[in-house]
Amino acid sequence: MTPGRGDLVVTQWAARFGGRRFPVAIGRGGMTDDKREGDGATPRGVWRLMHGGYRADRLAPPAAPVRLRPIGPRALWSDDPEAPEYNQPVRAPYGPSHERLARGDRLYDVFLVTDWNWPRAVPGAGSAIFVHHWRKPRHPTAGCLAFRPDHLAWILARWTARSRIFVR
C-alpha cells in the first residue's frame, strides 16, 4: 500500500502531511512489527482515525474529521487484556487495569483513537494507540503518536475521511 497525498507518513523522527514536515513522538520502545500490550512500542502499519475525545473544561471542540466527545473525570480506557472491555472506553469506577483520559497534564486534551487493534481487540496485541498532544518535544509515549498541540490542530483541520496514517 502506497501513501497518497492526504496521508500522514510517520517515521521515527518526523511525520509528513499536507506538504509539511512535523516533529513527532513515538513509543519509548521504538517501532515494531510485533506489538504487545505494555511493550511501549509504536506498531508499524496503516491506520485510520476512528473517533476521539477532548477536554471540554479546557478547550472548545476542535475542528476534526471524526466525532470527538467531551470527556470528564470518569472517562477511562481499559488496557487489561483479560477484561471484556479491553481496548474500549470505560467509566469510573472500573476495577481492571485502565488509563485515565481526563489527566492532570495536557496529553489528552485532544486525543484520537486509531483503528489499531480496534474495535475487535485481540487480547494482548496492544491497546489505545492514540494520536494526541506531546509532553515535550519528542518525549517518548507508551506507543502512541504525539504532536505539538498547534501541529495536531493543523493536521486535524486538513484531515479527510480518506486520510490514513502510515507508520514506517
The helix/strand/coil state of 6 is: coil
Q: Is residue 29 part of a domain?
A: yes
**Residue position matching grid coordinates 506538504:** 19
Q: Is residue 2 part of a domain?
A: no
**98-149 confidence digits (pLDDT tens):** 999 999 999 999 999 999 999 999 999 999 899 999 999 999 999 999 999 9
- Helix, strand, coil percentages, rounded to 5, for the chain: 5, 35, 60
* Sign of the CA dihedral with 54 first, then 25, 42, and 94 last: negative
**Residue position matching grid coordinates 490514513:** 164
How many domains, in total, are found in the chain?
1
Average pLDDT over residues 39-65: 96
Global pTM reads 0.95
Q: Is residue 1 part of a domain?
A: no
Give which of 82, 80, 57 is closest to 70, Cα–Cα. Answer: 57
Q: Is residue 3 part of a domain?
A: no
Identify the domain containing residue 152 by its residue range.
8-167
